[in-house]
Structure 1
């Protein structure tokens, strides 16, 4: 029996595993949501497979994406990260990740849970796509993007936010007929 999955995941074993085990699975953990948003920010202008292949190195270099640690990064850490070819060496993206850790902690310290914030904007449950179209952005991704930017986040434009919403199961955009589709 052949498993039917989204077409983008068919031609690469690592992408198939990502699709089958992670993409579109609802994530409710605030730190995990933040990590994925940071990785999607690094993806800007690149293919997801590039980030996926470098994800372990990103996790190592960014101390497991612990916002408490990343928020304390300074110029020495930026230089260290810029010198490591295992990750995307973009000063703007690295500095945005550090700033985003600080914004995340500011939200937390103000009593605003990152997961509750995002899922609340989405209505608390996954939004089921039509199974045919894959929009680049939606009014909700524009709204979440604006809310994040208002809180000091960077590299969180509506296209990045929508890709993140798909990856973290805020939106189920699995293709019609895909074995992972829930709606």
Structure 2
């Protein structure tokens, strides 16, 4: 009970007691930047691109990017690490007509901010974030190094350039046991 109170042990009803994982506080605000957030907590950020593809924009992606359905988008799936532990899996969608070089840029350096800067968008702002939760797929659990019985926190975000034009729609899956989302200014 004392260890639980100090945050060193977590108790899951029907499963038992477990050593608590170190949790990364992940603030969501108008300037959400992965590397800055991780470094601010004295941790080492890193990332790895899982896949890059060009696909037609459909449904929610087309709507949020303000594109006609079927227009090409570049999808980049990126795994983000803090001190070598996976904490998030993001699926970024960029309008292909505006960011023709982004796939090559991300293949060289997995930093989204660096790729956008090299593509003529040195600064961007988060327009909106929607947060939900669900259980992970087997692939998500494996990539994030967590049990399928542990939920994911999901964030749907739209990032815009200084003129308010959408540059990125991201669906991020956070390892809930290792990440605490902090909504700033709410």
Is TM (by shorter chain) over 0.5?
A: no
Pick the structure with more strand per residue. 2
Higher relative contact order (CA 8 A, sep 6+): 1
Question: TM-score, normalized by length of structure 2?
Answer: 0.31
Question: TM-score, normalized by length of structure 1?
Answer: 0.31
Pick the structure with more helix per residue. 1
